[in-house]
Amino acid sequence: MNLLPKDEKFFEYFHQQSRYLCQASQLLLTGLRGGYEGMCHISRRMEALERSGDDVTHVLFDRLRKTFITPFDPEDIQALASRLDDVLDTLEDATFRMVAYKVDPIPEPAIELAEMVAASCHAIGSALRALEEKRSVVESCIEVNRLEDQADALERSLLTSLFSSETDAIKLIKLKDLYELLESATDRCEDVADTIQSIAVKNL
């Protein structure tokens, strides 16, 4: 029996990061559905969420340096925190670029991709709760993987259509970048899910 208690505070940080992801993904959806003006309206709030996420990550890393016994390997804690932060960074970057590029109107496929991102973030939250409660994380992680496959297929279809029909080179470059960035958010979510699964295999 281990007489030294493990520091479970790390799960609080993971859940806070997850809440920021869900808030950011829903905020992005709200902005996209409001068109270009909607994106301008959410821009500063998205920046604030990204900074808040960074703050949680920094606090977590600081605590990790000072903690002797952790709920699982310190390297896994660091990897999970970093990958959660990567998702939030990608959402903030997507918001910034849509405003900077002055994409107007917002194409419907961008909203479809953002819906997949939001669903992925929700599934990550479920996987983290399962990990903390020592339940199976498989179902939630498979859902993240499924959404990534779906987003990848949609992005490929969009790029094919874009290059075959769009004659405005600047618009083509803007939309290509945005579709790729939104799809990459699901890639980053999949990175989180893969990390959670790896942790679960080693610890559950």
Cα–Cα distance list, 161 to 109, 155, 158 (Å): 12, 10, 5
Give pLDDT, residue 69: 83
- The distance of Cα 34 from the centroid of its chain, to the nearest Å, equals 21
Chain position carrying tokens 């992680």: 141
Phi and psi at residue 167, to the nearest 5°: -100, -15
Domains of the chain from N-terminus onward: 9-203 (1.20.58.220)
Model confidence band, residue 4 (pLDDT cutoffs 50, 70, 90): very low
Give pLDDT, residue 49: 97
Give buried/exposed letters for 106-144 (b at 16+ CB in 10 A, else e): beebbeebbbbbbbbbbbbbbbbbbbeeeeebeebbebb
Summary count for the chain: helices (H), strands (E): 6, 0
User: Tokens standing for 116?
Assistant: 């997949």
Give pLDDT, residue 83: 98
How many angstroms separate the CA atoms of 30 and 185, rounded? 17
105 dihedral zone (left: phi>0; alpha: psi -120 to 50; beta):
beta
Model confidence band, residue 6 (pLDDT cutoffs 50, 70, 90): low
DSSP secondary structure string for all residues of 102-146: T--SPPHHHHHHHHHHHHHHHHHHHHHHHHHTT---HHHHHHHHH
pLDDT at 27 over 90: yes
pLDDT tens profile 8-22: 689 999 999 999 999
pLDDT tens profile 45-79: 999 999 999 999 999 999 999 887 888 899 999 99
Rounded mean pLDDT of 88-115?
A: 97
Give pLDDT, residue 70: 85
Give pLDDT, residue 175: 97
